[in-house]
Structure formats: C-alpha cells, structure tokens
Structure 1
Amino acid sequence: MNQEEKKVKLAVNSGISFGAKLNAKQLTVIAEYMNDSDELELTTFQQLYIDVLESNMEKVEEKFKEVGLLCYPVGNLVKSLRTCNFCKGEKEEGMPVAIELNKRIAGKSVPFTLRPAYTGCPIGCGEPLVNDIGVMKVRDGYDLYIGGKAKGKDAKLGTLLLEQLTPEQLYEVVEKIINIYTDQGKKKETFFKFINRYGLENLKNQLPITL
C-alpha cells in the first residue's frame, strides 16, 4: 500500500498594498494546486492557508512569487503585517515603511505566534491597538504600541511605548523587541503574557539608547 504523501500548510497573501486583495491571475494559480474537495482558509490576519505537498513546496512558492503572491510558513512565527487600506495614498500613509517593516520581521521564529499591525493614520483601520505590536503613523512620525489583546475577558488596548519614531528607529526598535521576546519568552508564552511578566520598563530600558 502506498503511503500518502505529506502535506504542509502555507500562508499566502498579495503583500502590502491598497487593501487585502487578490487578482484573477493569482486566484487561478492558487487553484492549480488545489483539488476539487480542497478548501482555502481565510484568516483574520489577511492570509490564506493552503495545504500543498511537501515535495512540491519550492515549486509552489516560485509559481506564487511569479504572480505577486507572498508565502509565509505557518506556526509560532511573526505573522505578516496586518495593514489598513492606505486610503489617503501610498506616501502619505507610509506604505513603503510598512513594506520594509514586514520584510524585516515576518516569518521570524518566536515563542508563540506574534501579530503585528500597521495603520497609516489615527483612524486605525489596521487595528494596531489590539494586536501584539502596533504601529500608527501620526503626522511625519510613527507611534509604537505593544501588548494589545483583542480577545478574552482580559482584552485590552496596547500601551503607547514610543512616539514619533523615524522609519529607521521604528525598524530597529521593533526588531529589538522581537529579539528580546525570542530570547526571554517562555515556550508558548503569548506576547501579552510576556509583557506582563517581563515588565514594560524593563523592556524599554533595553531598547536602543540612540532614541
């Protein structure tokens, strides 16, 4: 009897642009790697989960890349950046900054799934205040929130950690926070619980002194 080939889950989206959208060509390519009975799972983090043959993974990722789809592993990793629709424009709301931040952090291994979010103005459509790490563009700077929690009886808004960061300061600080969480967090400890245990001031004291 032939052993059924192992399938692995792959997270897919179209990257950071004006809203979470897929075009017809992207949908067609995704469908090529699905059977009639297969289903796509749409997550709350603007990703699609698709099961692909493990032996076919590299080929699938290459085909997806050709049509502008980004692929991410699934597990205890930093999720791709959840964003707003950039309704006021690419430059005004800082889309290049969101793209660069996503490139630097998405897919990094962490003690438990970490959800970052970005919004280009104080309206907050990207919901940065209820995610683990949230970035809000305010005027010409970037405000950084951490420790938000959207679900449960202990749901809470994130705490404003730093204000009016430059893009380079933002990248440096967020990467440092994630590194601290990776090094000091316990296995399967959520970021929300880690912040409560580790302490905001303790965390802040370890951030780059150039700020």
Structure 2
Amino acid sequence: MEAEKKITLAVNGGIGFGAKLSPKQLLTLAKLVEEDTEIELTTFQQLYIQIAESKVEQVKMELEAEGFSCYPVGAYVKSLRTCNFCKGAEEEGMPVAIELNRRIAGHPVPFTLAPAYTGCQNACGEPLVHDIGVIKRKDRYELYIGGKAKGEDARTAVLFQDQLTPDELYANVEQLLQIYQQNGKKRERFFKFIQRYGMERLKLEMGL
C-alpha cells in the first residue's frame, strides 16, 4: 500500500513575548504528529511538522484551538519575525505587529519572502537583514526593503519610507507585495526583483 503524502506545515505560538510556547501546547503538538516525525526548529521562530495530507485541516483546527498559528511552507510570505517586546506590548507596538502579520503571512509570492519587525531602534528582530523590515520609532514606523542575511551577496535593507502611521504601514507593505506578486519572475528573490524593477519605479507605481 502506497504511503500517504505528507504536507509540511510551519507553526508557532503567534506574535508575542519571545514567541513562547506553553507545556500544554507542546503536549498537543506531540499528540498530533507521528512518533517517528522529526520537528524542525527554523531560524524564523517556526516549527516545521509533517502531517498526512488527509489530516491537515483537522490538525490545523486542533493546533489553532491551542493558540498556535499555522502557515504554508514554500513560496509564501513567512510569518513575521519579531523582537521580544522587552519594553512592553503597547510601547513596542505588538498590536501593529499582530495586524501586519495577519494581513501578509501566508500570501503567495514568486519566492519565499521573510518579513521582520522590531519595536525600537535596537532592531533585535533583525529587520535590516530581511526582505521587508519594520522598525518602530516613537509612534511612527520605518519601512525597509531588500535585505538579505545569507550568502556572498548578503546586504542590508534600505529605508523605503519613514514616519508611517500603522494604517500607512499596512497599506504600503500590502501594495509592495502585490507589485512583487504581479511582476516578479518565478523564483525571483525579492531583493533581485527590487534591483530589476527599480526603487524609483516602485515608488512611482505606489504614488510616493
């Protein structure tokens, strides 16, 4: 009998203080995966698990009931990597991070895209070495694009916009992703798309 196809899911505890998991959540995770399944801890505050295709929706429901967030793996926007909100949820903008993640995580793109957020200028969430990075300064937000953490062509993201309100931040990130989704080539990384498309053309198309 042919083995059932396995689907990889990315799961985490959502946007919170240090992306923590409770013992109850870990027990639930252990119950839902097969005994011989390896759980991979990624550098992006996610756990990769493999689930039989026929059980994916049921497993997602049970995980989400315990406070997990579940995301697809592949050419999608990854869940938002964040700092530890060490100065508090309100001061460092956790509600904004949660809403931004809700709007963009899991959306299809030409190549896996990694966004990151940090609540102060210390940049502990590493926003400057990710495809899209957000830094909160006082009550406004800075948007950086085009970072890359690995490889010989590693680079720091460049400031795209600053002094953004939360609503402006959401709208601009969503518009950036829409332009990338519509105009990026298959498997074209975001920083290469920016190089090809041009920063000024991006700003012009977005009305900036």
When the two structures are superposed, what TM-score results if normalisation uses the length of structure 1? 0.97
Structure 1: 4+ residue segments shifted above 6 A: none
For the aligned residue pairs, the C-alpha RMSD in angstroms reads: 0.8
2:158: which partner in 1? Answer: 159
Matched residue, 2:138: 139
Match of 1:90 in 2: 89
Q: In the aligned structure 2, how far is the partner of 1:119 from the partner of 1:42?
A: 21
Q: How does 1:27-176 map to 2 (within 5 A)?
A: 27-176=26-175
Please give the secondary structure, in 1, of the residue aligned with 2:79. coil
* Cα distance between partner residues in 1 of 2:189 and 2:84: 27
- Rounded to whole Å, the distance in 2 between the matches of 1:79 and 1:19 is 17
CA distance in structure 1 between the aligned counterparts of 2:34 and 2:69, rounded to whole angstroms: 21
1:116-146 C-alpha deviation (Å, 9 max, x unpaired): 0000000000000000000000111000000
In the aligned structure 2, how far is the partner of 1:192 from the partner of 1:29?
A: 38
- SS of equivalent to 1:19: helix
2:199 match = 200
For 1:164 and 1:146, locate their aligned partners in 2 and report how far apart those are by CA, in whole Å.
15
**Runs (5+) with no aligned partner, structure 2:** none
| Deviation of the 1:208 alpha carbon | 4.4
Are the equivalent residues in 2 in contact too, given 1:12–1:72 (CA < 8 A)?
yes
Which SS does the other structure have where 1:16 is aligned?
A: coil
Name 1:6's counterpart in structure 2: 5
Instruction: Single out whichever of 115-124 and 37-46 deviates more from structure 2.
Output: 37-46
Partner of 1:186: 185
Whether the 8 Å CA contact 1:173–1:208 is kept in 2: the answer is no
Q: Report SS of the residue matched to 1:102.
A: helix
The residue correspondences of 1:12-31 to structure 2 (distance < 5 A) are 12-31=11-30
Q: CA deviation at 1:37?
A: 2.1
Letter in 1 for 2:195: N
The letter of the residue matching 2:47 is: L
Deviation, structure 1 residue 65: 0.9
Write the deviation string for residues 70-118 of structure 1: whole angstroms up to 9, x where unpaired: 1001110000000000000000000000000000000000000000000
Provide the rounded CA distance (Å) in 2 between the counterparts of 1:142 and 1:26. 33
Alpha-carbon distance in structure 2 between the residues aligned to 1:92 and 1:58: 36
